[in-house]
A = this chain, B = another copy of it.
Amino acid sequence: MLHHSEVSKHAGKDSLWLIVKGNAYDLTEFAPEHPGANEHSLISTRRRTQAYEPIHPPGTLEQYLPKDKHLGPVDLSGLEIKPKEETQEEKDRKKRVAEKPPIDECLSLYDFEAVAKSVLPTGAWAYYSSGADDEITMRENRNAYQRIWFRPRILRDVTTIDFSSTILGHKTTIPIYITATALGKLGHPEGEKNLTWAGAEQGVIQMIPTLASCSFDEIVDAAKPGQVQFMQLYVNKDREITRKIVQHAEKRGIKGLFITVDAPQLGRREKDMRQKFADEGSNVQRTQGESVDKTQGAARAISSFIDPGLSWKDIPWFKSITKMPIILKGVQCAEDAVLAAEAGLAGVVLSNHGGRQLDFARSGIEILEEVMRELRKRDLLKNGFEVYIDGGVRRAGDVLKAIAMGATAVGIGRPFLYAYSAYGSEGVSRAIQILKDEMEMNMRLIGAPTLADVTPDMIDTAGLNQRQVEGVPDYLGRANYEPLAGVGNGLGAQPRLLSKENKALL
């Protein structure tokens, strides 16, 4: 029987062992292709083990790791698990948790985000909130909606408002769905099940993520009878694994297969990466070798886990293994939406993966315009082809804008993550309820009693393409412009002629 001191020697690039629930596993070969690969090489065995459980569903090692890497039970005798002393940061966080506002003070989806940032551990916040590179696409996702304005109509009878709809033929109380987001237990011990429960309560469909912290079956089991769930799929290089996953899902009653096509490689999220360094602090001894390896690792495709070779040629195979409607998630231009419709798929999600993949990818709502134009021109909507978008939605007005432009429904991800990180399932439920309240109000105010009355002439999209970037949040640029020294209050370099009062104006 292995002794734990032996395991702890395998903590580098050449050999990486892990202890989970008293058993050891050899992750050496798997590590470089794991989504968190570059983090793993930095942290101690102890912490790796501690970090494993909250984010991996039970059964993960069994499902993905070959049997010969299971090293068997470990003799833990003599292992003194010193409880980590609570940091001041953690103490402060717990205080904020204790003092968080009552849920009914959250009046909009922004508020859940504010509370979540306040109560989440820094690492979880960094993982959830980060985007690719300079996060320009992530912010653009929000900004793009704000370049669309309403042209409301008056004196229409709006006594009764009905915004129920269908997605792939399944009823929804509001044209939104809970889209897939990874590692749900970072925010709350019940993870993705919070979404399932709230979806049931509010009559909203949930899309189950491949990278959930709860296992797929746990999430399906949490559903009420008749509750509709979709599934988001990362395609594995080993198509047999994928076939097994897909067919299992269909058997469990999943109603739609959303294949992610915008992530042949996971994007660099620098805020998240920085957080890792901050966690470890400077007292960790790192060798040069490791650090170079880390960089290389981040850039290498995790090619066995998510297949970068996935291509249009694979589509017929998917159609052959399942009867579930197939939707491509991550389409980003009209040409590919046309190809998807011509390939006989059920729909597309116009998405840039929440701004987490390619910076300077355009927003879903902007892509929607060119996609609908082209699909209409080629008459490709006639067979019930549906178009969804996600990314940046925070207000029911955003949903209405997408509906007016031709979307079937809108996926919402982070806001619901934030909602349950702050208040559990009840948070998600209230977030959806807020959207419904806003929806009812907005439809009254634009003069549309039903979604069919939400017509293209009710919005003004003239400015939609006028993207604006603040210029690498202009820290460098602004700081670089140094004013005349010696003017002002006698200090060294000071902004030109600014009194202290006026500096506040800047």
Contacts and interface: CB of A to CB of B under 8 A. Distances in A.
Interface string A174-203: 000000000000000000000000000000
Interface string A447-487: 00000000001001011011111111111111111111111
A335 interface: yes
Interface stretch (A12-20, A69-77, A289-297): A289-297
B333 A152 contact: yes
Q: Select the residue from A314, A330, A446, A495 with max chain B CB neighbours within 10 A.
A: A495
Interface stretch (A139-147, A165-173, A226-234, A241-249): A139-147
Contact of A150 (B150, B361, B473): B361
A474 B139 contact: yes
Given A296-B437, A471-B143, A481-B135, A118 B488 contact: yes
Interface in A432-449: 433-434, 436-438, 440-442, 444-446
Contacts of A413: none
Contacts of A265: 158, 440-441, 444-445
Interface string A63-102: 0000000000000000000000000000000011001111
A299 B436 contact: yes
A282 B102 contact: yes
A250 interface: no
A486 B105 contact: yes
A37 to B, nearest CB: 13
Given A152-B332, A262-B445, A504 B503 contact: yes
Total copies of this chain within the assembly: 4
A491 interface: yes
Nearest to A144: B471
B146 A471 contact: yes
Interface residues of A, number: 150
A415 B356 CA distance: 25
Given A158-B308, A460-B362, A271 B481 contact: yes
A467 B490 CA distance: 36
Interface stretch (A49-57, A108-116, A217-225): A108-116
Interface of A: 95-96, 99-108, 110-111, 113-115, 117-118, 129-131, 133-136, 138-139, 142-143, 146-159, 261-262, 264-265, 267-268, 270-271, 273-274, 277-278, 282, 286, 290-292, 294-296, 298-301, 303, 307-312, 314-315, 328, 330-333, 335-336, 339, 357-362, 394-395, 397, 430, 433-434, 436-438, 440-442, 444-446, 457, 460, 462-463, 465-488, 490-499, 501-506
Which 8 A-B pairs rank lowest in CB-CB distance, beginning with the nearest? Answer: A299-B437, A104-B291, A117-B497, A358-B445, A114-B496, A154-B261, A479-B502, A146-B469
